Every structure is written in C-alpha cells, then in structure tokens.
Amino acid sequence: MMQKLKSKLSKLGIKLTDYQLDQFDRYYELLIEWNQKINLTAITEKNEVIDKHFVDSLSIVKGMDMSTVNSLIDIGTGAGFPGIPLKIVFPHLEVALLDSLNKRINFLKLVSEELKLEKVTCLHGRAEDFAKEPAHREQYDLCVSRAVANLSTLSEYCIPYIRVGGIFISYKSGEIGDELSASKLALSILKAKLLKVEEFVLPETEINRSLVIVEKVDKLPGKYPRKAPLPSKKPL
C-alpha cells in the first residue's frame, strides 16, 4: 500500500525514502489503533487515508515551495493533518501542532516520539489564546489549516501566527467563490492579501481540492484575534 503513496507523491514531485515510507506506515498503524479509543478520523481504510490525509496534506507543494519555509504551525491539526506528513517529508521544518482536545495532543506526542520527529511542538488550547502569546504571535513563516470553517473565521485564527511576509494556506474543497468574496474585508482588516487560489485534482483520484494562499503584509492590530466565540459566531 505504501508503494501507492510513493507513486502518487511522485506525481507531485515528491520522492520518498524507504525510511519515510516506514514512518508513514507506522503513522497509519498508530492512527487506526488510537482511533478505536478516541475520535481521530472517520477515514480509516488505508487507500482512503493515503489519498484524503497523506497525499492531500502534501498537495501544498502545488502552491508553496516548502524549501523556503523554516517554521510552520498547523491550526486545528486534529490527528496531525497536514502537519505530521509535512514534517515527515520536509524534516528541516520546525513544526507546531495546535488542537483544542488534549487527547489528540497526547496522540500527536506519541506519534512524534514513535516516528522520531525532532523539533515538533504539540500545543493544547484554543487558537485565539496562543495567538496572544509572544512565543507564537507573528513568529511563523507559514500557517496551515485543514479545519472546517469559513475563510473569514480561519483567517482570524491563523494570520496572527505568521510574521509579516509570511503565508497562510487554507486547504479547501468544493466551490469556494462565495467564501472568497466574503473574506475580502476580513483579510483587509487582518493586514493580509489573497495571493492566489490553486485548484487541482489529487493524483489518480477525482477529488477536487483548492489551496487558498494568503500573504501577511503588515503587523496585526493587537485586538485580533477576538475572544471566542466571536471569530466563528461573528466573522469579520
């Protein structure tokens, strides 16, 4: 099965070593094992995990040169997507994984240990809270999120973490035209601009995906992000 992963990623220009294939295989084993105890994912069949979690996470290379990134934070990482696959393939990265559920964070700590991933920080808490801390505010080259939320809300969660000139990438599926239009004011308020939207089909599937790529152009006013639940209940 992992040879399928190797083949599909080669279509994205990614070449995996045998060691990286072993890491992905062990990651899958841990995901299935822990999913019986806590809710990590509804997707458990191996081919589906390869397509909808592993390849999808790494499809970021369609819109971002990861060799230019040194640090990233994954907001609402859940079972570690896209942060863990990105760390496996690009081991130079310093990666922070943030999730509000402590059980998931415990899983991610175990994955990091089992896969011998260095420079991975697992953060338990809300995006609104960590974004106020000097250790994390405007400190990252890249913020990524596959979380299911409208772009205006996600932007308020994510943009505070990236430095000026840094990039926020939201993984999206389906028609996003209306969502993009509705996010224009939020991006302006949050001192950011839309660079591009990369639309594509995942290799050897019929799964349509989009990467919404946003650049931060100036320092963010201190009042953002607003306290919960305002970003989700009253998007900018």
Helix-then-strand count for the chain, H and E: 11, 7
- The reported pTM is 0.96
pLDDT < 50: residue spans in the chain: none
Output the pLDDT for position 147.
86
Q: Which of 235, 50, 47, 232 is nearest to 148 (CA)?
A: 232
Chain-centroid distance, C-alpha 208: 17
Output the pLDDT for position 164.
98
Maximum separation of any 2 CA atoms in the chain, in Å: 48
